[in-house]
A and B are shown apart, each in its own frame.
Chain A
Amino acid sequence: MKAIPSLRPTAEELLDAAREHIVNKVIPTIADPQLRFQTLVAAHVLGVVGRELSAGTAPFKHVQSEVRALPGAPADDGALCAAIAAGAFDDEAAGAPLRQHLRMRTELALMAWNPLFVMRVKAER
């Protein structure tokens, strides 16, 4: 779901405003370490939602079409999990494309959750 462009501030801009408020105005006033950490997490998830809104739903539709392109053409994630459990991806010929697919979808999730993670672990190679 894309943000509605005619409304200003946009959904992403509102999320940014809320996140900046928490980071700049609220967190510096918190002494309790546990509450401070939880509030940092709250600010972080607002950033996650912002990145997810910007990316829209296209990446996740792409994941589903990639599932159907895997060996054995599983219809959806449920069918894929069942095929994996039954051993359909045990040999290397099917295992390699599956791992490539799984890496792609975790990296997609990470682009919203923590884009720096992917950069960091790739820089290590």
Chain B
Amino acid sequence: MNAQALEETLRKAVGQPVTVTRAAPLAGGASMETWSLDATVNGAPERLVLRRDMAVNMYAAALTRAQEFHLLGVAHRAGVMVPLPRWCYAGDESTRPFFVMNRVDGESVGRKVVKLPELAAARAAMAREMGRQLARIHAVALTDDLAFLPRPRAGERPFEEALRATRAIVDGLARDNPVWAYALRWLATHAPDEGGRAPVLVHGDFRVGNLLVAPSGLAAVIDWEFAHVGDMHEDLAWPTLRDWRFERDALTVGGVGTVDDLLAGYAEAGGAPVDRRAMAWWEIMGNLRWSVMCHAQAERHLSGKDRSVELASLGRKSAEIEWEIVDLIERHAQEHTL
């Protein structure tokens, strides 16, 4: 895809004269195509990012680009650090759906975020800032325009929804995986006490890797496609998963900071009181989901829908996450038998 083709694409959304002067692919996930663009729109220079569906849609539960575009605007108005969304295009026969937002400078690749010397100061402040951002996200009013967000069924609590959805994927994969069987059983018999908490807007993939980090600090929260309505502890636990620490295991929040800092930032920005037991439950749930998703992605390769060595490899990578699930349950058992 060259600058000229992207210019044609961009013009469909903008509806004004557009020239693309530079186009570079950005490292992204396996489900989305992302371009960094320098352009002139109606005579004015613009630094933009274009985010577009891949030919194959990976996750049925993910938001459409139009929904993600709308949610970005809502988050922006609520004071969450997000790139300003600019234009959206629902797609046609020759163009896959996409949206365009302002480009925010910063590193997103997790391995680099935890390591680059120029980000040292940003890392030191980051867990606390992540807590603040989560508090703002969880405070977003769930107004009617967000009715498209996936949410638990009537009468179902968020943890029940998570268990049901995960069990459905496990059943579909038919892998006879005893770690999954044990995790599902453990989660069902150690359900968190929700204490009447109201469900909130959950980002759904809030972690190092989906955050833009500049030398001055956290610059933007990106990749909102898995946003839904659920339990705040899901978002608080997810960035602590071992796999999102990028081998800096001792720094349990994304390889950059501590849970105490994360929760201090959360409280500081008005977040509701945190239940550490619920967080521990969602950490195991998060690991289970990620392990199951790895196999679901490997299955896309194995089924022939989307041949890719990257997807295939995730089926084996799952062993790291399964090890962590067993270890977390073991630690819990030891704490409760002493």
Which residues of A are at the interface with B, using a C-beta cutoff of 8 A?
Answer: 32-34, 37-38, 41-42, 44-45, 48, 67, 76-78, 80-82, 84-85, 87, 89-90, 92, 95-96, 98-99, 102-103, 105-107, 109-110, 112-114, 117-118, 120-121, 124
Contact = CB atoms under 8 A, between A and B. Distances in A.
- Interface size class, chain B: 35 or more
B181 A33 contact: no
Contacts of B27: 33-34, 37
B320 A77 contact: no
Given A85-B184, A85-B185, A99-B333, A113 B320 contact: yes
A102 B322 CA distance: 9
A37 B209 CA distance: 15
Interface in B319-336: 319-320, 322-323, 326-327, 329-330, 333
Given A45-B313, A103-B323, A110-B323, A81 B249 contact: no
B189 interface: yes
B326 A102 contact: yes
B140 interface: no
Specify the main secondary structure of chain A where it touches its partner.
helix
Contacts of B25: 32-34
Specify the main secondary structure of chain B where it touches its partner.
helix
B244 to A, nearest CB: 15
Contact of A90 (B189, B316, B327): B189
Contacts of B176: 76-78, 80-81
Nearest to B27: A33
Nearest to B182: A84
A120 B247 contact: yes
B250 A106 contact: no
B308 interface: yes
Contacts of B16: none
A96 to B, nearest CB: 7
A106 B319 contact: yes
Nearest to A104: B326
B155 interface: no
